[in-house]
Amino acid sequence: GFNQTVQEARAAKKLDTTSATYKKINAAFLRLKPYADQMNTTGQKFDWQLAVLKSDQVNAYVAPGGKVVFYTGIVDKLNLSEAEVAAVMGHEMVHALEEHSKQKLGAQALTNLAIGIGKSYAGSQIGELGNAAIDLGSQVGVGLPYSRSLESRADEGGLMLMAKAGYNPQSAITLWEKMAKQGGAQGSALLSTHPTDSQRIEKMRKNLAAAQAIYNARR
């Protein structure tokens, strides 16, 4: 699980706790956390934790109970601003809350919420998903891609969450546009559970006004 991942990363000198990239991710994490707690309707307080792994992988996921894992590659390769990092983080946090409320997973199971940069989810990748492992060699228990409705809820909830924390929700659109541009460049290194497509971005644009109103009200 998460603690093992952190221990292995530390042993392999892959745990980032000092770089500018880490500071950007951690700043977003700390700002979003209290608002994620406000949104928590699971009846259980989450012990949110963050681990940043030094890796070229364009990846981020959350394990049950709010253990957030970011790879430096997603920030560095996509050149993400702190607000765009918050868009990824907000989406993942909402997924964690949604997953928990579904109660499908035991606390030890690690949900794979990898951010896939493939434009669409190809059935042929299911095999790769099944044996995907963190580059440190620790196995990740991987679920199949989230249903569209779950993704939409995480998109919408993520927009509201980042807006409440004072990040311009417009950054979620630029984030997913960057993802779509990246396209299949990374290919199978990514676990394509989050298809980026025009439909998805269009839907987020529709939710943007509500999120923007929350953001503007804070300023």
Q: Please state the φ and ψ torsions of residue 71, each to the nearest 5 degrees.
A: -100, 140
Residue from 92, 99, 151, 156 carrying the catalytic annotation: 92
- Closest C-alpha among 105, 103, 75 to residue 89: 75
Of 105, 128, 102, 107, nearest to 191 by C-alpha is: 128
Residue 128: phi and psi, rounded to 5, are: -65, -40
Neighbours of 96 (CB within 10 A): 25
Burial (CB count within 10 angstroms: exposed 0-12, middle 13-18, buried 19+), residue 120: exposed
Helix residue ranges, H only, 65-188: 72-77, 82-102, 126-130, 148-164, 170-182
What is d(CA 2, CA 62) in angstroms, rounded to the nearest whole number? 9
Q: Report how far apart the first and last C-alpha atoms of the chain are (Å, whole number).
A: 39
Known catalytic residue: 156? Answer: no
Q: Which residues are catalytic?
A: 92
